[in-house]
Chain A
Amino acid sequence: MDRILKSNNLTGWLLAAPLLLVLVVFLVIPVIVIVIVSFWQTTEFSIVPAFDLGNYEFLFGSAVTYDVFLNTFKYAFLTWAFTLGIGFTVAYFLAFHIRSQTMQIALALICTVPFWTSNIIRMISWIPFLGRNGLANSALLSMGVVDHPLDWLLFSDFAVILAFVHINTIFMVIPILNTMMRIDKSLIEAARDVGASGAQILWNIIIPLTKPGIMIGTIFVLTLVMGDFITVRFMSGSQSANVGRLISNDIGLLQYPSASATSVVLLLTVLVVVGGLMRVVDIRKEL
């Protein structure tokens, strides 16, 4: 037994070695470097090693930081709510209303294909839609809903959320669909036989059994939105900020220690959120 255990360990580690190597060199060490550099100082021309809490003091002493973190949570929460609502509905339709498996796969693929294309292009694609002279405004004008073009469609929080939802809903659809497909249909039939209404079935059977998928989708959506900087920058026309933009602005100014300190705080925030969610769901089992 002991020898088998040992050989399991050996082959396991040999097979996992390349994975471990990449993660250590390009994830663990870089994160450690960020933590170290977050205590460094910035001079006019370079960054110098030090043990200085100044970056953190500045970060926590600035009112902007709190606003920006609040804004980040706002984006994350709103995007989460919309992607969950849309993603659940779409997955529900595919899992319980489409009868042939081929059709299910085809429709799921239709939802997935945009995920394999460029996010930046997909953001740019909103310009002719939402711009001052864009399709949305012309439609609203011609329908008489508004009498002058709306300025807040593009380059606003509205546009940011719209783009987040546009890009990230797929991260809800796929895990939720995956768990829904495993629900034993006879459970639903049994519920119906004893007189449960559609709403009761949804609330008491489907939603509880779909929770793992919802949790996995939630992890993806929250971390992607909280770590984003490009969508906010592009869709808000640089008018709104989130933590990612704070970091990328510092990077743009070569203020690496300050960017690192903000990164450390962001990282801890993300890890706390994910850690909380992972306690509720065993990702490995649910795939």
Chain B
Amino acid sequence: MEPRPRSFYILAAFFGLYVLFLYGPTITIGILSFQGPSGGLTFPMNGVSLNWFHELFKQQAVGDIWGSFSRSLRLGLMVMVTTVVVSVMGGLAFRKRFAGSGALFYLAIAGLVIPSILVSLGVGLFFSQAGIPVHWATSGFGAQLTWTLPFGLLVMFAVFNRFNPAYEEAARDQGASPWQTVRHVVLPIILPSLLGVALFGFTLSYDEFARTLLTSGSKNTLPLEIYGMTTNVTTPVIFALGTLTTVFSFVIIGLFLLTAWVLNRRRSRHGSDAGKGMV
């Protein structure tokens, strides 16, 4: 292997700084959430304690953190499942050109680029004018989908752009019905990418703020709750909450990555060895 050029080390240092920039602040509040009971929002640490985490679990004066967490979790799962199913169907639809597919594609892109506050305002106004009360599981759910579905669809485009149609042709040649082809050939092949879509769907929903602002009704989701806290909480309890939800996000991401890794390993173990001995 040729030796690394000097530019490698310069770029590696740049990359390192970028990663530090990405994670530095998060790590900082992670440390500060263990601030002693008399400590403040910045360094120095006044001792080390779990005080601020205890505060979180106490009966709240600041709001309904656990209720909002449970709503965000349920909403995230709803958005995740819907995003996966609808994106896969959309991705399959777009594999063949159908009348109006171009217009539908631009509509999906519009979902990505239209400012989030417009979606929030528009859905809020629509519901109120139609006399339907806004609720996180109806209007909030729909408002979030306008952002997660186009994202999922783009991932599906990327997947199907790389998909080898020979597998389907082979299945068809052996007499598989279209549904059988999708069920036993296409879906298993794209399964790892679906995990990616699911991860996007869940996390984008779980962290969404703007689109739920005017569409969630009287009960807050977690990001709304946290945002409310930023204006009236001046203790490290907000860091403790930030640390906990970040840890939760990391656990979720870890679970997804682990599943993807296991799937890949199982696949390579069970996969055919055809052609392996040839080269």
Binding site for B on A (CB under 8 A): 8-9, 11-16, 18-20, 22-23, 25-31, 33-34, 37, 86, 89-90, 92-94, 97, 99, 107, 109-111, 113-122, 124-129, 131, 133-135, 138, 166, 169, 178, 198, 219-220, 223, 226-230, 234, 244, 247-248, 251, 256, 259-260, 263, 266-267, 270-271, 274, 278, 283-285, 287
Contacts and interface: CB of A to CB of B under 8 A. Distances in A.
Contacts of B242: 118, 121, 124-125
Contacts of B28: 125, 128-129, 135
A138 B126 contact: no
Contacts of A28: 107
Contacts of A25: 142
A20 B108 CA distance: 9
Contacts of A29: 122, 126
B26 A248 contact: no
B269 interface: no
Contacts of A113: 250, 253
Interface in B239-259: 239, 242, 245-246, 249-250, 252-253, 257
19 contacts: A9-B99, A14-B93, A19-B104, A19-B108, A19-B149, A26-B119, A90-B15, A109-B257, A117-B26, A122-B26, A124-B230, A128-B43, A135-B43, A138-B43, A229-B210, A247-B121, A251-B214, A263-B117, A267-B114
- Interface centre among B89, B98, B161, by most A CB within 10 Å? B98
A99 B146 CA distance: 38
Contacts of A267: 114-115, 118
Contacts of A97: 4, 7-8, 11-12
Interface of B: 1, 4, 7-8, 11-12, 14-15, 18-19, 21-26, 28-29, 32, 41-43, 85-87, 89-90, 92-94, 96-101, 104-105, 107-119, 121-123, 125-126, 129, 139, 142-143, 145-146, 149, 153-154, 157-158, 161, 199, 203, 206-207, 209-210, 214, 223, 226-227, 230, 238-239, 242, 245-246, 249-250, 252-253, 257
Nearest to B253: A116
Contact of A223 (B26, B112, B146): B112
Given A16-B89, A18-B86, A229-B210, A27 B110 contact: yes
A283 B108 CA distance: 12
A287 B157 contact: yes
Given A116-B199, A244-B115, A9 B125 contact: no
Given A31-B114, A34-B122, A251-B214, A120 B22 contact: no
A20 to B, nearest CB: 6
A95 B230 CA distance: 39
Nearest to A219: B113
Contacts of B101: 12, 16
Given A124-B29, A129-B28, A116 B203 contact: yes
A99 B2 CA distance: 11
Contact of B90 (A15, A234, A285): A15
Contacts of B18: 86, 90, 111, 169
Given A120-B230, A127-B41, A228-B115, 7 more contacts: A15-B89, A16-B93, A23-B108, A31-B122, A223-B115, A226-B115, A283-B109
B71 to A, nearest CB: 15
Contact of B113 (A20, A31, A223): A223
Contacts of A270: 113-115
Given A27-B111, A107-B15, A248-B117, A131 B41 contact: yes
A25 to B, nearest CB: 6
Contact of A274 (B11, B43, B107, B113): B113
A-B pairs, 4 with minimum CB distance: A227-B115, A30-B122, A12-B98, A125-B25
B104 A20 contact: yes
- Interface centre among B42, B94, B117, B239, by most A CB within 10 Å? B117
- Interface centre among A89, A94, A118, by most B CB within 10 Å? A118
Given A12-B93, A19-B89, A120 B122 contact: no
Contacts of B153: 19
Nearest to B207: A118
A248 B249 CA distance: 28
A238 to B, nearest CB: 10
A172 B113 CA distance: 15
B93 A247 contact: no
B14 A89 contact: yes
Nearest to B248: A117
B226 A8 contact: no
